[in-house]
Homo-oligomer: A and B are copies of this chain.
Amino acid sequence: MALIVQKFGGTSVGSVERIRNVARRVAKWRAAGHEIVVVPSAMAGETNRLIALAKEIQAHPDPRELDVVAATGEQVTIGLLAMALLELGVKARSYSGWQVRIVTDSAHNKARITSIDEAKAGNITTLGRGGSDTSAVALAAALKADECHIFTDVDGVYTTDPRIVPEARRLRTITFEEMLEMAGAGSKVLQIRSVEFAGKYRVPTRVLSSLTDPAIAVVEEAQAGTLITFEDDPHMAMEKAVISGVAFNRDEAKITVHDVPDRPGIAYAILGPIADAHIDVDVIVQNVGHDGMTDMTFTVHRNDYAKAVKILKTQVQPHIKCREISGDERIAKVSIVGMGMRSHAGIAAQMFRTLSEEGINIQMISTSEIKITVVIEEKYTELAVRVLHKAFELDQA
């Protein structure tokens, strides 16, 4: 008998019939002798409806009050799901965050969990989109659960997006480190903060589909989906692929500051005002200088592109004497991720050669111990993902 936290996304609880299916699935696990804690999202579309209502009142809704309104979406689902379980004869009670005392900081709409056991009646906060992934993992950590199940509308983590590469394979396991790099590189299966939390508290987390037959045998479902493991986990020995997956992201834009003086402090002079404006910077590349000058290139989210360029032209350019500021919104970031590349030389070379054979120019490169990311022209995204998936034999079981 195990204690398991199961999280169901908005699509999984998007209608009365789907809520009944979730209840059947939970009841089945309960009948198999396990203790189950369920964390459902709001019904699909409900959070958008509530936010739209708030925006009719205030174009920029007060963050505290927006959370008061938006949190009702999940409150409705927990009540309905408890009823559906009771209807099946399963003892169930719903609890709001304040009742089980999940304490967050007061950064409304993107609150961070500070503790789960402290007794304090505070404000209502929401953890932001995808927050229920994080709630589920946090609960699993607090309860020392044996496993956390994240039920979603895909049946696991794939070597890449199957819509682009039909040969993409579901991974039976992936390490936290790889999952973190995949999420950071654009994979949308799990919210990145939930993966960080799972890693920090070592919560064994399994990604599963809620759209399968709810009556599937527990013994089968317990092995389905993708299990996120630790590097030192015995599960790791089962799969030894050098590369686990290819991730990509088309949400970013590239900005280059040309011919800036190659001196200490120049990176801060450029990126400080960007950070002050709460704009996140992702890939940063600064080449070796020539004649005392260098170029600095970095990527930001496309939504922040215009704002970032404006800051550079008004607040940075007057002070640092750069020659030009240019940018490009039509780029893509493509990454290969894998624990195995640490002990295999030549992975980067193989990646660059593969892209070059297709005539794809690499604009920027950034590497971590288990990830290599390249920035390329956006129109080559699918081609790059397909050839890399094939080159690293990710279609082979």
Q: Which residues of A contact B (CB under 8 A)?
A: 16, 19-20, 50, 53-54, 56-58, 61-62, 64-69, 71-72, 75-76, 78-80, 82-84, 86-87, 93-94, 96, 98-99, 101, 119, 121, 123-124
Question: Can you give 12 A-B contacts (C-beta < 8 A)?
Answer: A16-B57, A57-B83, A57-B84, A58-B83, A65-B83, A68-B78, A68-B79, A68-B96, A69-B80, A72-B75, A72-B76, A119-B121
Question: How long is the Cα–Cα vector from A66 to B101 in the complex, in angstroms?
Answer: 22
A94 to B65, Cβ gap below 8 A?
A: yes
Point out the residues of chain B lying under 8 angstroms from A71, CB to CB.
75
Point out the residues of chain B lying under 8 angstroms from A67, CB to CB.
79
B80 to A64, Cβ gap below 8 A?
A: no
CB A205 to nearest CB in B, in angstroms, measures 27
Q: Which of B65, B78, B84, B86 meets A79, CB within 8 Å?
A: B65
Q: Which of B57, B64, B99, B123 meets A19, CB within 8 Å?
A: B57
B64 to A93, Cβ gap below 8 A?
A: yes
Most chain B CB neighbours (cut-off 10 Å) among A20, A58, A62, A101: A62
Which partner residue on chain B sits nearest A69 by CB separation? B79
A57 to B80, Cβ gap below 8 A?
A: yes
CB A86 to nearest CB in B, in angstroms, measures 5
CB A129 to nearest CB in B, in angstroms, measures 18
Point out the residues of chain B lying under 8 angstroms from A64, CB to CB.
93
Question: Knowing A16-B57, A56-B16, A99-B121 touch, does A62 contact B75 (C-beta < 8 A)?
Answer: no
Q: Which of B16, B78, B123 meets A53, CB within 8 Å?
A: B16
Which partner residue on chain B sits nearest A84 by CB separation? B57
CB A123 to nearest CB in B, in angstroms, measures 8
Question: How long is the Cα–Cα vector from A58 to B54 in the complex, in angstroms?
Answer: 30
Question: How long is the Cα–Cα vector from A67 to B76 in the complex, in angstroms?
Answer: 10
B83 to A62, Cβ gap below 8 A?
A: yes
Question: Knowing A54-B80, A54-B83, A96-B124 touch, does A69 contact B75 (C-beta < 8 A)?
Answer: yes
Question: Knowing A50-B76, A75-B75 touch, does A82 contact B94 (C-beta < 8 A)?
Answer: no
A61 to B83, Cβ gap below 8 A?
A: yes
CB A66 to nearest CB in B, in angstroms, measures 7
Question: Knowing A68-B79, A75-B68 touch, does A57 contact B121 (C-beta < 8 A)?
Answer: no
Which partner residue on chain B sits nearest A73 by CB separation? B72
CB A264 to nearest CB in B, in angstroms, measures 45
B69 to A54, Cβ gap below 8 A?
A: no
Question: Knowing A19-B57, A56-B16, A76-B50 touch, does A68 contact B87 (C-beta < 8 A)?
Answer: no
Question: How long is the Cα–Cα vector from A264 to B384 in the complex, in angstroms?
Answer: 95
Question: How long is the Cα–Cα vector from A101 to B121 in the complex, in angstroms?
Answer: 9
- Extra contacts, 11 of them, besides A98-B98, A99-B123 (Cβ < 8 A), are A16-B57, A50-B76, A54-B79, A54-B83, A58-B86, A66-B79, A68-B94, A68-B96, A69-B79, A96-B124, A99-B121
Question: How long is the Cα–Cα vector from A58 to B83 in the complex, in angstroms?
Answer: 6
Which partner residue on chain B sits nearest A94 by CB separation? B68
A53 to B65, Cβ gap below 8 A?
A: no
A68 to B82, Cβ gap below 8 A?
A: yes
Which partner residue on chain B sits nearest A59 by CB separation? B87
Most chain B CB neighbours (cut-off 10 Å) among A20, A65, A82: A65
Closest 4 CB pairs of A and B: A72-B72, A68-B79, A69-B79, A65-B79
Question: Knowing A53-B16, A98-B121 touch, does A87 contact B69 (C-beta < 8 A)?
Answer: no
Question: How long is the Cα–Cα vector from A121 to B87 in the complex, in angstroms?
Answer: 27
Question: How long is the Cα–Cα vector from A86 to B54 in the complex, in angstroms?
Answer: 12
Which partner residue on chain B sits nearest A23 by CB separation? B57
Q: Which of B57, B82, B96 meets A20, CB within 8 Å?
A: B57
